[in-house]
């Protein structure tokens, strides 16, 4: 579904991504782990068209999206849930969700999808008229995910969904990620909680200082001594 080949990204003189290559197969959950500053968010933002790429190839469902605008990439079926949620303050939960469908014209199907989001996240329906900025961290993460689902993505990019959440909420968010995947959405997950990220991953990549240094099934990596020492406290 997604193929990234030899991707380079620069911020001025600093090379943030140094020839990253990865693949995401349809129906998979693929996790990307690594320390702060490894380039994980830069990689997602470059795939989404938010960050300018220096060189490389990005293909989504067989189509070259390397030079496409973020809006066109969303229209193609690739949507990102950004790090830090990025909820629109001063707007209701309902308004935030409807903004997720801003490229769509099919009003009836938008309302149907809204009901699906409410079924997935009942708390959002309870809070639909509330200012989104007054939600708890976990509720804001659910809103960010629900808003992205309103775009009907084929591939969902999730950037640090567990950041700042209590352990019990982290488990809930990861359970929801698995549910979203089971309903047919492919997922590329960036996550510092390496144990959780690997435990749900069909396949995973380890990013260090802009390079992919290791890849394998989630099971293989979670059992790797090197991964346990570097990321799992083993």
The predicted-structure confidence for 71-94, as pLDDT tens digits, reads as follows: 999 999 999 999 878 899 999 999
* Maximum Cα interatomic distance, the chain, rounded to a whole number of Å: 52
Structure confidence at residue 192 as a pLDDT band (50, 70, 90):
confident
Using one digit for the tens of pLDDT, what is the confidence trace for 93-122? 999 999 999 999 999 999 999 999 999 999
If you count DSSP H runs as helices and E runs as strands, how many of each does the chain have, helices first? Answer: 10, 10
**Which pLDDT tens digit goes with each residue over 32-55?**
999 988 999 999 999 999 999 999
CA distance 70 to 102: 13
Percent with pLDDT over 90 in the chain: 89
pLDDT in tens, 128-169: 999 999 999 999 999 999 999 999 999 999 999 999 888 889
Q: What is the pLDDT of residue 83?
A: 87
Query: What is the chain's mean pLDDT, rounded?
Result: 95
Give start and end residues of each alpha helix (H) in 24-166.
Answer: 40-47, 70-76, 93-99, 107-120, 122-126, 137-149
Instruction: List Cα–Cα distances, 47 to 2, 175, 198, in angstroms.
Output: 9, 25, 21
Q: State the pLDDT confidence band at 232, using cuts at 50, 70 and 90.
A: confident
pLDDT score, position 181: 97
pLDDT reading at 186 higher than 70: yes
| pLDDT of 231 over the 90 cut | no
Q: Span 6-23, mean pLDDT?
A: 97
Number of domains in the chain: 1
Residue 142 burial by CB count (10 A; 0-12/13-18/19+): exposed, middle or buried?
buried
Look at residue 234 and tell me whether its pLDDT is greater than 60. no
Residue 87's pLDDT is: 93
What pLDDT is stored for residue 85 in this prediction?
Answer: 80
Which structural domain, as residue segments, surrounds residue 12?
2-231
Domain CATH number, residue 131: 3.40.50.300
Q: Which residues contact 62 (CB under 8 A, 6 or more apart)?
A: none
CA angle (32 as vertex; 89, 80 as ends), nearest 5: 30
The pTM assigned to this predicted structure is: 0.94
């Amino acid at each position: 579904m997604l193929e990234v080949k030899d991707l380079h990204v620069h911020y001025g003189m600093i090379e943030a991504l140094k020839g990253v290559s990865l693949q995401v197969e349809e129906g998979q959950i693929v996790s990307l782990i690594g320390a702060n500053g490894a380039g994980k968010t830069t990689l997602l933002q470059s795939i989404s068209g938010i960050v300018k790429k220096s060189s490389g190839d990005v293909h989504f469902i067989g189509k070259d999206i390397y030079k496409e605008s973020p809006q066109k990439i969303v229209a193609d079926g690739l949507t990102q849930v950004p790090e830090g949620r990025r909820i629109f303050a001063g707007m209701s939960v309902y308004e935030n969700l409807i903004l997720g469908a801003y490229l769509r014209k099919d009003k009836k199907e938008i309302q149907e999808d809204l009901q699906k989001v409410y079924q997935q996240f009942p708390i959002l329906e309870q809070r639909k008229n509330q200012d989104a900025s007054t939600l708890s961290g976990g509720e804001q993460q659910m809103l960010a995910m629900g808003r992205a689902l309103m775009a009907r993505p084929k591939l969902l990019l999730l950037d640090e969904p567990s950041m700042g959440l209590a352990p019990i909420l982290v488990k809930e968010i990861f359970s929801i990620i698995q549910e979203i995947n089971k309903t047919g959405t492919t997922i590329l997950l960036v996550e510092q909680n390496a144990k959780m990220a690997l435990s749900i991953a069909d396949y995973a990549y380890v990013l260090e200082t802009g390079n992919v240094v290791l890849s394998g099934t989630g099971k293989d990596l979670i059992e790797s001594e090197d991964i346990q020492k570097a990321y799992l406290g083993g």
